[in-house]
Structure 1
Amino acid sequence: MLDFMTVFPSWQWMPLLAVAGVAVDHVLGEPGRWHPLVGFGRFAARIERALNADAHPGLTLPRRVSRERGLFAWIVCVCVPVAVSVGVIALVPAPYNALIHVALLWFALGARSLRDHIRPIGEALRNGEIERARSLTARIVTRDTSDADETALARAAVESALENGNDAIFGALFWFAIAGGPGALAFRLANTLDAMWGYRTPRFLHFGWAAARLDDCANYVPARLTALSYAVCSHFPSALHCWRTQAVHWDSPNAGPVMASGAGGLRVLCGGAARYHGIDEARPVLGMGRLPGAADVDRALGLVRHALWLWLAVLLGLGALAHVIA
C-alpha cells in the first residue's frame, strides 16, 4: 500500500504516479470542450478586467500599483486553486489520494495535445497542402502565417514543438517531482497566466510583470533540464555548442536554451525573421545546418518523445534508489 502519511507523495512512489499521469495523458489526451483551463481562463480574464485599470482609456495607474494588482491577481488565480487541491488531497484517505495526484498531473500535461496539434502540420507539408499547413500553424503560433512558405511553416512547427516540450511536459513533470499534483497544477496555471498576461504591450506591461517573472522563475530549472535532455537525445556536441553560444541572445531566458539546444541537436536552423501583427521581427538565429523541412517536424516531435522517455527512466531510477535507501 502506498504510504501517504503526508499530502505529497514520497520519492519511493512519486515516479510510478508520474508514469501513470503520462500514461493517462497518452491515452486520453486533454479534456475536450470541458477542459478546466477554459473555465480558469475565463476566471482569470474577469480578474484582469476588474483590476487592470491601466487597460481602460483615460485611466492610468502608477507602475508600482499596477504591478501590485497584477501580483494580487496572480495569487488569487494560482495560490487559491493550489491550496484547494492540497486540502482535497489531505481529506481523501490514503492510498486513494494517489488518484488525485495522477489527475492533477494529467491536467498539467500536454504531451498528446502537442503531438496532435503539430504532427498534422508536417503531414500537410509533405502532401503539398500549403494552405492547410498555414491554417494549422496559425492555431499554435502568434506569428503571421498568411503568406508563409514551407520552410517558414516547418520552422514554426519545429520551434513550437521544442519550446512547448518544456512548457507542456517537462516543466509539469519537474514540479510534480518536487511537490506532487499541487506542484504540477501550480506550474500549469502560472504558465497559462504568463501566456495570457506576460506581454510587453501597454495593457500588460506592468500588470503582467509578476506573471511573466514568476513563470521565468518556475521555468528556470526545468528549461535547462529540458535543454540537457534534448542534447542527450540528439547530437550532443552541436546541441551543447548552440545552447552555450546562442541562447543568451534570445529574449526569453528559458526558451533560448531549450530551442537552441533542440535546434542544434537536430542540426536545423530556427529563429530568424518572423512577422508578428504585420511587423517583421529580426530574431536571433538558433541551431546550425540546413533550413527545416516537412520531415523535421516529425524529427522535432521524436526528440521531445525521446526526452520524455529519458525523464521517466531517470525518475524511475531515482524511485528505485529511494526504495533501496529506505
Structure 2
Amino acid sequence: MEDIFNHFYANGALLVLWGALLFHLILPFPREAHPAILWHKFAEQLADKVNNNSNYSQSIISGTLAWLLMLLPMLIVLIALKPLVWQPQLFELAFLLLAIDWRNTDKFTAQFVAALAREDKEHAKMLIKPIVNRSTSSLSLLGLGKAGSETLIMSYGRNVVGVLFWYAIGGGIGAFLYRMSVELARAWSPSRQQFSPFGIPAVRAVAVLDFIPMRLFAIMIAIGHRAKQTAQLISQQAKSWPLPGPAWLLVSVGAKLELSLGGPAIYDKHKAVRAKLGGRIAPSAIHVAQVQKLLAWRMFAWIVIQSLIMGLIYQGF
C-alpha cells in the first residue's frame, strides 16, 4: 500500500489531476466569475473590430487571424511562465482548475430539471439563455427539454472529458488552451448570422480538437444496454451532423436513452435546419435527469481509466 502511495505521489500528473478534481468538487468557480466569461466578452469585442462578412474569403482570413491573435500570445506567455514557477505541479493544478467545469453544469441541471418538472417555462428559459447561442424566447417545454439535454451533453463532453483528454496530452496548458478554444468557437459561432463565415476557422479548430475525445466518450456511452442499436444509429445519423465529434456524442446519448435530439433551432431570429438525432421520445424533466445520471457515471469511468493509463505511461503504476 505504501509503494502504491509513493508511486502516486511521485507521479505529479496524476496528483495534479486528482487534486484539481477534489478542489473543483469543494470550491468550484462560479460561472459568472470564471475567466472564460471575460475571454468570451473580449472575443466578441475583437470580432466587432475585425469581422467583415461582406466578403467570404476575406472574412475567413480575418477569422483565422483573430483566432491566432487570441491564442498564440497566450500560449507563448504560458510557456514562458512555466519555468519561473517555484512548483511546476501548482502551475499545472491552477490551469487545470481554470479549464475543468462540471459543478456548474450539475447546478444548472438540478435547477433546470426542477423548472421543467413544474412546467415553469420562463424560469427554464432564464436558466438556459446565458449558456446557449440559440434564441430561447419561443421554446416550448419540448424545445426546452431538447435544448437542455444537448447543452448538458456538450458541457460534459467539452468542459470535462475534452479538458481531461487534453490535460493528458498537453498538461495544464493544453487543457486551458482547449477550454479557451471552445469559448472562442462559442463566441464566434457561425450559426449566428453576424459571425458567418468569420467564426468558421474557430469552429473547425475545435472540431479537430474534439474528434478523438468526443468519439471515445461516445463509445464509452454506447457500451452496455442497447449497444447494438446505438452503434447502428451512430453509423446512420452522425454523418448528417456538421461536427463529427459532437455528432457521435449526441447520437450515442440519444440512442442509448431513445431520446429525440437535434431538429430545427432559431439563432438571431433565423431558423437553422438541423438533422434529427437519437430516438423518438421527447425529452422531459425526468429524461434530462437521466441524461445527467448517464453522463456522470460515464465521466467517472473516464476519470478512472485515464488515471490508470496515465499511471502506466508516466510511472509504470
What TM bracket, shorter-length normalisation? 0.7 to 0.9
Question: 2:178 corresponds to which letter in structure 1?
Answer: F
Report matched runs for 1:1-326 at 5 Å.
12-31=11-30, 33-52=32-51, 54=52, 60=54, 63-93=56-86, 96-199=87-190, 203-232=194-223, 235-322=226-313, 325=316
Contact 2:190–2:197, Cα closer than 8 Å, also in 1: no
Question: If the length of structure 2 is used for normalisation, what is the TM-score?
Answer: 0.87
Question: If the length of structure 1 is used for normalisation, what is the TM-score?
Answer: 0.85
Contact 1:194–1:211, Cα closer than 8 Å, also in 2: yes
Q: Deviations over 1:53-109 (max 9, x none)?
A: x15xxxx5x54443333222212211211222222222113xx22112111111111
Question: 2:207 corresponds to which letter in structure 1?
Answer: D
How far residue 176 of structure 1 moved from its aligned partner, in angstroms, is 0.4
* Whole-angstrom distance in 2 between the partners of 1:33 and 1:316: 30
Which residue is equivalent to 2:7?
none
Question: 2:110 corresponds to which letter in structure 1?
Answer: R
1:270 is paired with a residue whose SS is strand
- Pair 245,145 (structure 1): closer, same or farther in 2 beyond 3 Å: same
How far residue 48 of structure 1 moved from its aligned partner, in angstroms, is 2.5
Q: Deviations over 1:262-284 (max 9, x none)?
A: 11112222123444444444432
What CA RMSD, in Å, does the superposition of the two structures yield over aligned residues? 2.5
The alignment of Structure 1 onto Structure 2 pairs a total of residues equal to 308
1:290 is paired with a residue whose SS is coil
- Pair 204,149 (structure 1): closer, same or farther in 2 beyond 3 Å: closer
* Whole-angstrom distance in 2 between the partners of 1:248 and 1:303: 24
How far residue 322 of structure 1 moved from its aligned partner, in angstroms, is 3.2
1:50 is paired with a residue whose SS is helix
How far residue 118 of structure 1 moved from its aligned partner, in angstroms, is 2.4
- Pair 272,71 (structure 1): closer, same or farther in 2 beyond 3 Å: closer
* Whole-angstrom distance in 2 between the partners of 1:106 and 1:190: 16
Q: Which has the higher helix share?
A: 2
* Whole-angstrom distance in 2 between the partners of 1:132 and 1:274: 20
Which residue is equivalent to 2:6?
none
% identity of equivalent residues: 24
- Pair 206,135 (structure 1): closer, same or farther in 2 beyond 3 Å: closer
* Whole-angstrom distance in 2 between the partners of 1:324 and 1:109: 24
